[in-house]
Structure 1
Amino acid sequence: MNNIRRDSQNNIFAGVLSGIAKHFNWNATFLRIIWVILTLTPFPGLIIYLLLWIIIPKDDAK
């Protein structure tokens, strides 16, 4: 099983959401929309994103 990696090719900010989308074979744009909606609600989306940015290693692709 492959580990989740931050995507350095299809990133907008840090590649967290595109890396998760790539790992689970999801659409990255859809996942970004979900994240924006969750961030605008009382759900702590920004804090979780920052924690994932720290935890998930960056991929080796240049």
Structure 2
Amino acid sequence: MRTVSDDVSVRLYHLDDDSGAAATLIYGSLAEALHTAALQPEEVQAGLFIQTSNDVVAYLDLIED
């Protein structure tokens, strides 16, 4: 992801494997989205994505060491 600022506006959404439907969990800052994502169960986290104005990254890819 190109954006590194905690206050950049992002969309956190869950992509359902079965239907392909995307459900938005939050529009907010990157910090808020990361906090919200961390509160989700592991099975939900696997389908979370963070979208900025110029990029999309899987939540689990973003937090990997």
> What is the TM-score when the length of structure 2 is the normalising length?
0.32
